[in-house]
Chain A
Amino acid sequence: MSTVNGRLPAAIVGEPEPRAPEALLRVRGLTKHFPVRGALGGRALVRAVDGLDFDVRPGETLGLVGESGCGKTTTGRMLVRLLDSTSGSIEFAGRDITHARRGELRPLRQDLQIIFQDPYASLNPRHTVGRIVAMPLQVNGINPPGGTKKRVQELLELVGLNPEHYNRYPHEFSGGQRQRIGIARALALRPKLIVADEPVSALDVSIQAQVINLLRDLQRDLDLAFVFIAHDLAVVRHFCHRVAVMYLGKIVEIGDRNDIYQHPQHPYTRALLSAIPDVTTLGPAGRIRLAGDVPTPLNPPSGCRFRTRCWKAQDHCATEEPALITRDGGTQLTACHYPERGALSETKAAAVG
């Protein structure tokens, strides 16, 4: 698995090359249960996120993918402490931030930023762009050399906006430009890690490509680490070094991009990849058809949560929950008792009604 053509340094491709061993972000047993009122007035728990373990190293991009309701957004919000976790721990740059209080969080947020999905809802319509981007600096009492205005204009230029537009309001910008403003705001404090929650899914195709390229350039130039939350696996493939696939609040497979996309082991990852309509293939190309919908997180299936839709499920899967470990000589971690082998194309023919 050496770099083809020798074009790119391994750092960008994300080979498991020995880097600084300590992780920038270390998540262990992260759990979020939302209490809801049950059907008969009783209490119930939505197990939105149920025990996640993962690391993000400095300058690395981790993609968090899955279908709606799998808990990826909840995870992102917990990482930046917009939501408190039910249990588990989040360690950032060696510090446990799981229960950090407001005052402790403020300096932390300089290193840890978020970009939201909806470029329309995440910018205050009554503030000028200059004020929006300057806000993180003011809140943290930072006076950059040369003044706030100069720094803001640098940031606008960095994300490909005209610095002269400093005094304009969000409604004067298109969706793609607004997302750039959100990115400029996230970059204002020179963070080390950015959580990007579906940053391009609200954008048109041609604009989406512009923003993906911008994020890639920023990631390389500023050596940023990203947790990139998305449902679009093709977008994730273009942006992330590592990928974690989530299903019903759990990670079912996590590993380097090439392993996940070329030799996925978990049946769910395979189904997800085969369901994506790809422009490079014409006509219905052997999709793995998953029956039914994602079960409710109120009462997830016992054992392996994917077993109700899995074509390989055995009795064993209902009783014992598979651990997230390396299996069958794969390099990625997979939570499945009966992992698939071989390259992706080989199971394409397997159709399940």
Chain B
Amino acid sequence: MVKLPASRSGEGPYLRVKDLRVRFDTEDGVVRAVDGVSFSVERGRTLGIVGESGSGKSVTSLAILGLHNAKRATISGEISVGGRQLVGLPEEEVRRLRGRDMAMIFQDPLSALHPYYTVGRQIAEAYRVHHPRAGRREARGRAVEMLGRVGIPQPGKRFDQYPHEFSGGMRQRAMIAMALVNDPDLLIADEPTTALDVTVQAQILDLLEDLQQEFQSAIILITHDLGVVSQVADDVLVMYGGRAVEHGSVEQVLRRPQHPYTWGLLSSVPSLHGDADADLVPIKGNPPSLINLPSGCAFHPRCRYADRNGDRSRTDVPELRQVVERGHLVACHLPEAARQRIYRDEIAQVGVAR
């Protein structure tokens, strides 16, 4: 399975996020939900963002779409979509991009679809918002076409049905149809299959892949499921406590992981292969509170190797730096040699990082 680097059409990545910071001021203190995250996604590529709850992955995606309430959230950094700078753009203009150039698939299709309107009407509305000159009939035709495209049988009949008449998988397909109705170049899927059964999940993941081949869109897939990421992502970003801790190609991050948190995640996932009787190796402790993030490396209280380099993990925030291979970035204070040794002696044989 050799993946060629995506064709560079000379314009650079479609989405570029640089030093993104999102803060919420709450009664209990400032929540630094995203704290300096940078990444980029090219057309036709899929970036998987992985992390546990509270790691900032959903906040990142909402920031890209400009869906945070400006009164409550403070956003800084750069978000450039197709060459346009989004941070600080007036709501009016973001709205013009949202749904047309970038679209989102939410986790729970039942709460994301309006129960009161037919599914088709909601999809047609998404089309007409960005095609004001399109007539009712044209919008309907387009919506039926999209329903068919995402594999819903009898799309003409399904158009006039309500969300409750759809099964879970069908609803998620309808959501995807709605997201794709304006041919967006950037698609953000936030846990698109978490609420679905595995056989339906497989259908939806296949569908996303087929559609990506067809439309050459850039996809961000947000998930806590490392298995899903391993199947569909080209690149992976691992987040912890609002920061990126590891970033690289899917091969690099899942096959040759270098950050202790990624090691921990991979060894805690039960797998269908390997020794079923071996105990899983969980990460001790709990994910941190974003109000009171541990000093230095946010992972240090749970890290088995935090003591290997004096006090640095407790005092300095590690920078995301390149290790070994090109494009493989890791934020960890462990000296290169020590990390290589730990990886070779303790990590490579156990768990899934074989």
What is the interface of chain A, defined by CB distance below 8 A to chain B? 4, 7-8, 12-13, 67-68, 174, 176-177, 204-210, 212-213, 216, 231-235, 237-238, 257, 261, 271-273, 275-285, 287, 289-290, 293-294
Residues of chain B lying within 8 A (CB to CB) of residue A12: 277
Q: A8-B277, A68-B197 are in contact. Are A235 and B272 (CB under 8 A)?
A: no
The size bracket of the interface on B is: 35 or more
Q: Which residue of B lies closest to A8 (CB)?
A: B277
Residues of chain B lying within 8 A (CB to CB) of residue A213: 279-280, 282
Which residue of A4, A209, A234, A279 is within 8 Å of B230 (Cβ)? A279
Q: How far is the CA of A174 from the CA of B52 in the complex (A)?
A: 13
Instruction: Determine if B237 is an interface residue (Cβ-Cβ < 8 Å).
Output: no
Beyond A277-B205, A287-B206, 5 additional pairs, beta carbon < 8 A: A205-B269, A209-B268, A210-B268, A282-B231, A283-B231
Q: How far is the CA of A282 from the CA of B167 in the complex (A)?
A: 29
Which residue of A205, A261, A275, A284 is within 8 Å of B209 (Cβ)? A284
As a 0/1 sequence over residues 198 to 216 of chain B, the CB contacts with chain A under 8 angstroms (1 = contact) are: 1111110110010000000
What is the interface of chain B, defined by CB distance below 8 A to chain A? 1, 52-53, 167-170, 197-203, 205-206, 209, 224-228, 230-232, 250-251, 254-255, 264-277, 279-284, 286-287, 352, 354
Max chain A C-beta neighbours (<10 A), residue from B201, B232, B282, B352: B282
Residues of chain B lying within 8 A (CB to CB) of residue A294: 197
Residues of chain A lying within 8 A (CB to CB) of residue B282: 206-210, 213
Which residue of A206, A216, A280, A293 is within 8 Å of B274 (Cβ)? A280
Q: Which residue of B lies closest to A233 (CB)?
A: B272
Residues of chain A lying within 8 A (CB to CB) of residue B266: 279
* Residue pair A231, B276 in contact (C-beta under 8 Å): no
* Residue pair B199, A272 in contact (C-beta under 8 Å): yes
Q: A261-B272, A280-B271 are in contact. Are A293 and B170 (CB under 8 A)?
A: yes
* Residue pair A205, B265 in contact (C-beta under 8 Å): yes
Q: How far is the CA of A282 from the CA of B53 in the complex (A)?
A: 24
Q: Which residue of A lies closest to B209 (CB)?
A: A284
* Residue pair B228, A206 in contact (C-beta under 8 Å): no
- For the complex of A and B, 10 pairs with smallest distance between CB atoms: A209-B268, A277-B227, A209-B282, A67-B197, A206-B283, A275-B202, A209-B280, A204-B52, A234-B270, A210-B282
Max chain A C-beta neighbours (<10 A), residue from B167, B230, B268, B277: B277
* Residue pair A282, B286 in contact (C-beta under 8 Å): no
* Residue pair B52, A282 in contact (C-beta under 8 Å): no
